[in-house]
Each structure stands twice: as structure tokens, then as C-alpha cells.
Copies of this chain bind each other. A is one copy, B any other.
């Protein structure tokens, strides 16, 4: 069956059997010049509202195509709410983090500025495009939302009592099982937030602030000091694994 391995593309416009879709210029370029797909080739289109559809490529010219939606192959499917709250880190590691977070089902990405944030710039359009590509690759139907950067304290106050986990280096060496037990508890609460600090961790003042909040819980990710991107993948993976 060709549908298993055919290319998936995220399309924000309504998808339905019979819809005729005009892809963006960059998508057209990708389909024609990178993938070298021909007239009549199969493709899959998806978004969070309509699910996933088979489509066929209709070449209008050497640079212009239309996509003809045929059958729905997956209905829309809600992801469990999961927000990755992260301090911006160096570009390549931040991009890895967002790609992996998307694969692991994050529904929202919220950059927060901390005392030790060394690279406060966040290129949201670029991160959004990385998340889109990761969604296309991984089989999910939605793209995570991105917030504008906020100060850490302002973000936490905006939680309004919702639960957040943060990965606390001071707990390194605690049994990692602690994390699992904690996550089992957490998984029953929605929405959920996981906070990952910058390289260099949180300042003492920030740690005191975080530990003072009754809805924010420090956990250990094991014996070692993990880089921010590694920590985010592991924490999100454990959270997902703890869901049934």
C-alpha cells in the first residue's frame, strides 16, 4: 500500500473529500523540485481540525500544482494538553529540542526568560517551521502552538494554579524512580506543564521562587547533569510513557 510511506504535508485550510488545495510556493517547490513527484502521485494532507486525507497531485505547469483531496484516512484526534516551558538555549540545541518535543506530542511551547538565559532571542517562525516538519514526519495531526517569550516569574503567575514539573539539578542522584512515581501522579492532572531550565540551571532566587509555589514540583531526572535538550526529551518521554 502506498499510503503508508507517502509524504505527509500539514495544510491549515479545510480538508474534505473533493477539496482542491493550492499549496504554498515553498510546498510546491518541495513537491516538484525536491521530491520530484509527478502528476497523479499520492500524498497525504492533514491538520488538527479535519484529520488526514489522501490526495493526488495535479500538475498545472512546471511550477504550479493543485492537490485533490480524496478519502479521509484518519479523523481528527486531540492530543493530551502538554506544554513545554523552556528557557531559550543555543540555536541548534533549541531546534533539536523543539523537533523532539513535537515528536513526543507537546501541544504548546512557551519560551521563558530566566536569570541565566544567555540567548534571549527566539525565532518563533523558524521554530514553528521545525515543529511543522517534525509533525509531518512523526504522524501527528497538529502543530504545537508557540507563545511569545515571557519572564519566568510572569509565566508562573499566569499558571493560575495549574501543575508544572521542573527538572531540579539539586535532586540529581535521587532515584530516577522518583520521576516515574511522580509522573504517574501528574498524568492524571490536566493541563500539564514541564519546565526545562537553561544551560547553567536556575539562579538561587529562581529556585526559591519555584519551590515556594504549591503547584510547581521539582523532580530528578537521574544521577547525571543532563543538557537542556536531553532533559526535555527525557522528561516529555517519561510523561507520555506514564499516560495510559
Binding site for B on A (CB under 8 A): 96, 99-100, 103-105, 137-140, 175-177, 179-180, 221-222, 224-227, 230, 233-234, 237-238, 240-244
- A241 near B238: Cβ-Cβ < 8 Å: yes
- B100 near A224: Cβ-Cβ < 8 Å: no
Residue of B nearest to A77 (CB): B223
Residue of B nearest to A93 (CB): B96
- B225 near A240: Cβ-Cβ < 8 Å: no
Residue in contact with A241 in the complex, picked from B137, B140, B180, B225, CB distance below 8 Å? B180
Beyond A224-B105, A224-B139, A225-B139, whether A233 also contacts B100 by CB under 8 A is yes
Q: Kindly provide the distance from the CB of A133 to the nearest chain B CB, expressed in whole angstroms.
A: 11
List B contacts of A140 (CB < 8 A): 224
What are some 19 contacts across the A-B interface (CB < 8 A)?
A96-B96, A99-B227, A103-B230, A137-B225, A138-B224, A138-B226, A138-B227, A139-B224, A139-B225, A177-B242, A177-B244, A179-B241, A180-B241, A180-B242, A222-B241, A233-B233, A233-B234, A234-B234, A238-B238
- B226 near A176: Cβ-Cβ < 8 Å: no
Residue of B nearest to A105 (CB): B224
Q: Kindly provide the distance from the CB of A9 to the nearest chain B CB, expressed in whole angstroms.
A: 16
Q: Kindly provide the distance from the CB of A78 to the nearest chain B CB, expressed in whole angstroms.
A: 13
List B contacts of A227 (CB < 8 A): 99-100, 103, 137-138
- B100 near A230: Cβ-Cβ < 8 Å: yes
